[in-house]
Amino acid sequence: MYKPIIGLEIHVELKTKSKLFCACSNNPDETKPNVNICPICMGHPGVLPVINKEAVKKIVKAALALNCEIAKSSEFYRKLYFYPDLPKGYQISQDISPLAKNGFIKIDGKKIRVHEIHLEEDVAKLVHPQGEDYSLVDFNRAGIPLIELVTEPDINSALVARRFAQELQLILRYLNVSDANMEKGQMRVEVNVSLSSEHSKKLGTKVEIKNLNSFRAVNEATNFEIARQKKLLEENKKVVPETMGWDDEKRLTFSQREKGGGAFSTEDFHAPEPNLFPLRLTDTYIEKIRSEIPELPSQREERFKKEYHLSGKEIGLYVIQKDLGEYFEKVVSELNNWVKAKKLKEKITGNEFKKLVKLASNYISTDLQGLLRGASARGEDFLITPENFAEFISMIYLGEISSKIAKTLLKEMFGAGGDPSQIIEEKGLRQITDETELEKIAKDVIKKNPKPVGDYQKGKEEALQFLVGQIMAQTKGKANPEKINKILRKLLS
Ligand code: ADP
Ligand code: ZN
Ligand code: MG
């Protein structure tokens, strides 16, 4: 039996105003090529790089959130190689003197250790026009601050590899250090995979799969590679140490180059960067950044579990969708205000309030969530204030509107952003609770439906439900169902 051993190397672009060593804009949405460039990021002779403070702050923040030790002094090196995506002929990196070490992320309670996190600059983007015999280079990306995170080989399944990458993305988003959008190439994952015999401590030969740009690809490429290596080993063949790519269409890994490379290998060719001082950080600086770390996803999950009685699915949604989780909490606080203002404190305590919160969460995680998805696809804004949403929930709670009206009302509120009681008036959605009015409608329905009336009087209970349905249809769902029931029974007895 073989056990998969997996380690990850993940590159993430930091969200900063400017590039790592120059004042060029770091704009991930720039579509025009080669506009955010200058002599510094183009590597013209005689220029001097200057370190971007915001980038340093953000990598320190990320490293602290990932439980790393921060090096108080770290250095920059030139990683030398020749490739068209590298204007200077070298990449400035801290990979042999990393800023942070020895961290971890917990997945399902198990620590996946982070070996190091370091700062480096991104390279240019190569564009290969289809059917042409040339490639184009867009240097906008060259010099954008990147962090590289390297894990220990602590992962044993494709699923955990994927979960690690997802958790990292979420943490970086909570910290606002990166959008880490994989589709946009802001987060790129490299998976290292080897197999070893179940009981042996010796690690097998590893293969690296480069540039995975979706979580699905991380999962599939890892599983594909595990299966490929297993087959080789079972046939007594050797796994060759190599760098592979992932073909997202054919769903398979393919060899790019063998590792080691022989005499012409430029891997690990480094020279000190003479134009940058070592990066020296004081304790005060580090502690100040530590104090700015917000609640992290795993902490929010724990807190929500303790504070609210919600399903795991709902909590998961509020952790993954940070903004929605914040919205939910604002609605809860508005519901609290509503209970206080209406002097309902005696009636709505403890379990009753939990019911109210659950009702709110129900609507937020289903109906509202659905409307939000549609709106963001259309690029629309979300206009319901937490206060108005809380009022909407209180109306359902008090039985002032039926669930049918609630859905209509929510759609109206979503589009217009208005307050629910006003929309109810304007759109004529108010529930009919006036007994004389309801009696009039009931009498009319009784007159028009002699057969069901007869059936009911002969003892057929279902016939009453039919009549209730008729009244609901006539009032477009606005009649108060409890009251109609009572009135019908009275009129037919
Ligand atoms: P290299 O020198 O080839 O870059 P490193 O020791 O720097 O190798 O490790 C690179 C990545 O590969 C790390 O994420 C590490 O956890 C992982 N790794 C190391 N050895 C193995 C192995 N035998 N199987 C799977 N992953 C491994
Ligand atoms: Zn520049
Ligand atoms: Mg390495």
* Residue 9 in contact with ligand 1 by CB distance below 6 A: yes
Q: How far is the CA of 410 from the centre of ligand 3 (A)?
A: 53
pLDDT beyond 60 at 237: yes
Q: How many CA atoms lie within 13 A of 481 on its CB side?
A: 15
pLDDT beyond 70 at 446: yes
Atom number, ligand 1, closest to the C-alpha of residue 152:
16
Ligand 1 site-directed mutation target among 101, 117, 206, 229, most atoms within 8 Å of CB: 206
Asked if CATH classification 1.10.4030.10 holds for the domain at 435-492, the reply, yes or no, is: no
Q: How far is the CA of 96 from the centre of ligand 3 (A)?
A: 10
Atom number, ligand 1, closest to the C-alpha of residue 150:
14
DSSP conformational letter for 239: P
Instruction: Give the ligand at the shortest distance from the Cα of 205.
Output: 1
* Residue 222 in contact with ligand 1 by CB distance below 6 A: no
pLDDT tens-digit series, residues 6-63? 999 999 999 999 999 999 999 999 999 999 999 999 999 999 999 999 999 999 999 9
Residues with Cβ–ion distance below 5 A, ligand 2 = 22, 24, 38, 40-41
* pLDDT value of residue 341: 84
Q: CA–CA distance from 115 to each of 99, 102, 148 (Å)? A: 11, 5, 11
Atom number, ligand 1, closest to the C-alpha of residue 259:
3
pLDDT tens-digit series, residues 380-435? 888 899 999 999 999 999 888 888 889 989 998 988 877 898 888 887 777 787 88
The domain locations on the chain are 2-291, 297-427, 435-492
Within 8 A by CB and 6+ apart from 128, the residues are 135, 136
Lowest-confidence pick of 313-317, 364-368, 449-453? 449-453
Task: For residue 13, count other CB atoms closer than 10 A to its CB.
Answer: 23
* pLDDT value of residue 263: 47
Instruction: Give the ligand at the shortest distance from the Cα of 189.
Output: 1
pLDDT beyond 70 at 260: no
* Residue 127 in contact with ligand 1 by CB distance below 6 A: no
* Residue 8 in contact with ligand 1 by CB distance below 6 A: yes
Give percent above pLDDT 90 in the chain.
69
pLDDT tens-digit series, residues 191-205? 999 999 888 888 899
Give percent above pLDDT 70 in the chain.
98
**Residue 404 to residue 407: CA distance in whole angstroms:** 5
* Residue 18 in contact with ligand 1 by CB distance below 6 A: no
